[in-house]
Structure 1
Amino acid sequence: MFLAPKGRIDRRPFIVGVIMLIALLALFQLMAVGQWWHVPLGWVVYPVWVYAAVCVLAKRLHDRGRSGWWAGGVVIGFNFIWPYPDSLIGVAGLAVVLWATVELGWMQGEEGANRHGPPLNVPTTPAS
């Protein structure tokens, strides 16, 4: 789920993945507050976290029939509100994250196969 942006995922694994990503980010930042190693280790942790977040978001966007490139906008919007929105652009980021929450966390994926593959909850039968 966190290693490749191809394919589709349903709502439940998406929500679990997002909770895990946010918890890991919060844990890293809580442990790193005031530590000398925050910046050098952050150069490794943050890009890995962003890649994993884009993978999870892209898969869920694929399930909704959208391009995975929308994940970039959601990650940027999240960046503007983490840990809280503190500017006008933060309000715009909040709007993007709220849209993503409704679109990806609440609405069902497309039924049947789409250009990103079949849904994961439908068994595929081999051609005979």
Structure 2
Amino acid sequence: MTIQQWLFSVKGRIGRREFWIWMAIWLCAMALLFTLAGSDWLSLQSAAFILVCLLWPTAAVVVKRLHDRGKSGAWALLLILSWMLMAGNWEMLAGIWQWALGRFMPTLIMVMMLIELGAFEGKPGGNKYGDEARPVKFR
């Protein structure tokens, strides 16, 4: 698999190694982005633009990793649900429900997805999403 297929295509499958490589790159990019934006070296609009540009490669990597596990890419919508729950205003609810919907459920979803994508091996052999995952050719 080429780097272009790895980062911009939702077709195919990738293994845990490629998933963790992208997550490390993404984490470093986010840390650098927020550091530059926080110290006024980068405007907030530029930081937001870069963040939006990084959404597609992240979605492509997550969907291909789900395919390797034999699951549909639609499972990635759980990550959007967890973000929406975390960003919601739950002040209209009683204290325990604010915590449950605004913190516990999003954290549970994210941890379960991280375990699913990053810890479990892919299904051996081919499946309906493609042949067995091949390593990315970084050179």
| TM-score of the superposed pair, with normalisation by structure 2 | 0.73
Distance 1:76 1:31, change over 3 A: farther
Moved more, 29-38 or 65-74: 29-38
Contact 1:18 1:56 in 2 (8 A): no
- Displacement of 1:37 after TM fit? 4.4
Structure 2 counterparts to residues 67-82 of structure 1, below 5 A: 67-77=72-82, 80=86
Give the helix-richer structure, 1 or 2. Answer: 2
From 59, 62, 69, the equivalent of 2:67 is 62
Specify the code of the residue in structure 1 equivalent to 2:131.
P
| SS in structure 2 at match of 1:61 | helix
From 113, 116, 120, the equivalent of 1:100 is 113
Structure 2 counterparts to residues 15-94 of structure 1, below 5 A: 15-35=20-40, 37-77=42-82, 80=86, 88-94=101-107
Specify the code of the residue in structure 2 equivalent to 1:44.
F
Distance (whole Å) between structure 2 residues aligned to residue 28 and residue 36 of structure 1: 10
| Residues 39-59 of structure 1: CA deviation (Å, up to 9, x unaligned) | 221342121111111111001
Structure 1 spans left out of the alignment, 5+ residues: 82-86, 123-128
Identical pairs, percent: 26
Q: Which has the higher Rg, Structure 1 or Structure 2?
A: 2
| TM-score of the superposed pair, with normalisation by structure 1 | 0.78
Moved more, 10-19 or 88-97: 88-97
Partner of 1:112: 125
Contact 1:8 1:120 in 2 (8 A): yes
RMSD: 2.4
Distance (whole Å) between structure 2 residues aligned to residue 61 and residue 18 of structure 1: 15
Structure 2 spans left out of the alignment, 5+ residues: 1-5, 88-98
The higher relative CO (CA closer than 8 Å, separation ≥ 6) is in: 2
